[in-house]
C-alpha cells in the first residue's frame, strides 16, 4: 500500500513538471511577441487615423460646398425682387448712410432696393384682407474680425442687413419718428426713408443721393454664412473666380468687391471670397462666393494656396431683378 502511494505521488510530480514546462513563456518569447505586435499594430493604427482624418476633411469640404450653394440660393431669391442694384460707384456714394459706416471689420458688397410683399395687410371689406408691397433696402456685408472670435471662425463671413417701409393707413397707429398713420405692426424700420425720383437727373444720380431718415437704425446684421475665404490678394493670390462679363454697347458691368480705394485698408480689404458684377441699367447681378473648409479643421495657415484649392469651393450665380425704375 505504501509503495503504491509513493508511485502515485512520483507520477503526479512528473506530470506537474511537464505541464508547467509546456504551458509557460520565456521572457525572450514575450519580448518577440511584443515587437511583432508593435510592428503589425502601429501601421494599422496609422492607417485608421489617416482614414478618419480623410473622412473629416471630406466632410468639411462637403459642408462648405452645401453652405456656399445655400447662401447663393438665398441671395438669388432676394435679388429676384430687386428694382435697383447699386454698382461700386453707388455704394461709394451712399456708404456713409449705411449702418456701421466707420467700422473697420466689414464692407458692403451687395446693396439693392427691392419690393417686398406684406401678406394680408390691407382690409378690403369686413374681414376680407389683401396683400400689398413695401420697398426695402438690403445690404450684404463681408465681415472679418480683427482678432479671433469665440462665436465665428477665423475666416470671413457674410451678413445681411435690411430696413423697410411701413404700410400707410387712413386710420391707424403713429410710428415714432414718422408722420402719418400706419397699419398696426407695420411701421417703417427706424432710419428708413424712401428714395426720391422727382426732379432733374438720372436714376443713378437720384438713387446715389439717397439719405437715411433721422431715427437711428435699430436693425442689426444677421449672419448668412460663415467660413468664407479671407485670403487677401496681396498675400498668396487666390483663384479669383470668373471675371465680370464683357461690356457691350447696351450692357456695362462693374465689379463690386472689398478691394476699392475706400475699403482696402479695412480687415476685409483685397479679399475675393465675396464679390459681384453689377449691370445697374438692367438690374442684374452676378455674385461669386468662395468658402474656406480649412477653417473648419484648423485655426491657422488658412490662406489659399494652389495645393489646397480643393478646400476652397467656389460658386457663382447670375440674377436679374423683376422690377425697374423710371424717371423723366
Q: What is the DSSP string of 190-203?
A: TT-------SSS-H
Phi, psi (rounded to 5 degrees) for 71: -65, -40
pLDDT tens digits along 80-108:
999 999 999 999 999 999 999 989 999 99
Lowest average pLDDT, out of 125-129, 181-185, 243-247, 282-286, goes to 125-129
Decide if pLDDT at 13 tops 70: no
CA distance 105 to 153: 14
What is the pLDDT, as a whole number, of residue 52? Answer: 64
Burial of 280 (0-12, 13-18, 19+ CB in 10 A): buried
Using the predicted structure, report yes or no on whether residue 49 has a pLDDT greater than 80: no
Percent of the chain whose pLDDT exceeds 90: 48
C-alpha cell at 319: 440674377
Structure confidence at residue 200 (pLDDT): 85
CA 151 to chain centre: 14
Report the candidate in 109, 98, 95, 114 with the shortest Cα–Cα distance to residue 216.
98
Q: What is the pLDDT of residue 69?
A: 95
- Strands 284-290, 274-279: pairing is antiparallel
For 192, the grid coordinates are 428708413
Lowest-confidence range among 141-150, 274-283, 312-321? 141-150
Which letter does DSSP use for residue 188 in this model? P
Distance CA 118, CA 285 (A): 25
**Per-residue pLDDT tens digits for 126-179:** 677 788 889 999 999 999 998 887 889 999 999 999 999 998 888 889 999 898
**DSSP designation for 312:** S
- Residue 30, pLDDT score: 77
15: confidence class by pLDDT, cuts 50, 70, 90: low
Q: Is the pLDDT of residue 11 over 90?
A: no
Would you call 158 helix, strand, or coil by DSSP? strand
Give the pLDDT confidence of 189-209 residue by residue, as tens digits.
Answer: 999 999 999 888 899 999 999
Distances (CA, A) of 181 to 96, 115, 134, 236, 257: 29, 21, 15, 56, 40
- Least confident piece of the model among 46-55, 107-116, 216-225, 274-283: 46-55
pLDDT score recorded for residue 244: 86
DSSP code, position 121: E
Whether the predicted pLDDT of 12 surpasses 70:
no
| All residues at 6 or more sequence positions from 211 whose CB lies less than 8 Å from its CB, including other chains | 97, 193
Strands 82-85 and 106-125: antiparallel
Question: What does the pLDDT look like over 244-266, one tens digit per residue?
Answer: 888 887 788 999 999 888 888 89
When pLDDT is averaged across residues 41-50 and rounded to a whole number, the result is 71
Cα-based torsion angle of the residue sequence 81, 83, 89, 91 in order, rounded to the nearest 10 degrees: -50
Q: Per-domain residue ranges for the chain?
A: 43-320
**In the prediction, which pLDDT does 239 show?**
58
Tell me the H-state helices in the chain: 2-23, 27-79, 88-94, 203-208
Q: Which residues contact 156 (CB under 8 A, 6 or more apart)?
A: 142, 143, 144, 228, 229, 230, 268, 271, 273, 274, 292
Give the predicted TM-score (pTM) of the model.
Answer: 0.82
What mean pLDDT, rounded, does the chain reach?
A: 85
Question: Residue 322: its pLDDT value, please?
Answer: 83
Amino acid at each position: 500500500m505504501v509503495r503504491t502511494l509513493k508511485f502515485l505521488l512520483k507520477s503526479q510530480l512528473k506530470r506537474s513538471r511537464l505541464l508547467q514546462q509546456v504551458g509557460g513563456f520565456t521572457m525572450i518569447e514575450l519580448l518577440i511577441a511584443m515587437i511583432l505586435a508593435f510592428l503589425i499594430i502601429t501601421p494599422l493604427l496609422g492607417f485608421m487615423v489617416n482614414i478618419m482624418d480623410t473622412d473629416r476633411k471630406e466632410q468639411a469640404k462637403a459642408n462648405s460646398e452645401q453652405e456656399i450653394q445655400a447662401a447663393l440660393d438665398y441671395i438669388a431669391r432676394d435679388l429676384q425682387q430687386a428694382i435697383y442694384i447699386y454698382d461700386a460707384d453707388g455704394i461709394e456714394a451712399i456708404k456713409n448712410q449705411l449702418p456701421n459706416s466707420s467700422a473697420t471689420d466689414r464692407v458692403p458688397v451687395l446693396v439693392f432696393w427691392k419690393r417686398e410683399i406684406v401678406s394680408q395687410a390691407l382690409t378690403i371689406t369686413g374681414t376680407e384682407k389683401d396683400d400689398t408691397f413695401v420697398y426695402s433696402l438690403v445690404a450684404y456685408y463681408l465681415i472679418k474680425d480683427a482678432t479671433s472670435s469665440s462665436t465665428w471662425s477665423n475666416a470671413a463671413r457674410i451678413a445681411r442687413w435690411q430696413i423697410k417701409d411701413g404700410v400707410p393707413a387712413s386710420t391707424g397707429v403713429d410710428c415714432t419718428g414718422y408722420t402719418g398713420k400706419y397699419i398696426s405692426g407695420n411701421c417703417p424700420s427706424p432710419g428708413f426713408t424712401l428714395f426720391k425720383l422727382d426732379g432733374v437727373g438720372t436714376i443713378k444720380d437720384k438713387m446715389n443721393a439717397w439719405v437715411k431718415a433721422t431715427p437711428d437704425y435699430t436693425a442689426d446684421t444677421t449672419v448668412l454664412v460663415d467660413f468664407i475665404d479671407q485670403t487677401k490678394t496681396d498675400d498668396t493670390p487666390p483663384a479669383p473666380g470668373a471675371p465680370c462679363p464683357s461690356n457691350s454697347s447696351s450692357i456695362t458691368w462693374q465689379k463690386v468687391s472689398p478691394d476699392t480705394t475706400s475699403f482696402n485698408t479695412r480687415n476685409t480689404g483685397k479679399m475675393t471670397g465675396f464679390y459681384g458684377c453689377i449691370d445697374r441699367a438692367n438690374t442684374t447681378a452676378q455674385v461669386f462666393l468662395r468658402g474656406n473648409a480649412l477653417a473648419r479643421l484648423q485655426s491657422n495657415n488658412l490662406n489659399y494656396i494652389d495645393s489646397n484649392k480643393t478646400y476652397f469651393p467656389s460658386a457663382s450665380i447670375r440674377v436679374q431683378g423683376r422690377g425697374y425704375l423710371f424717371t423723366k
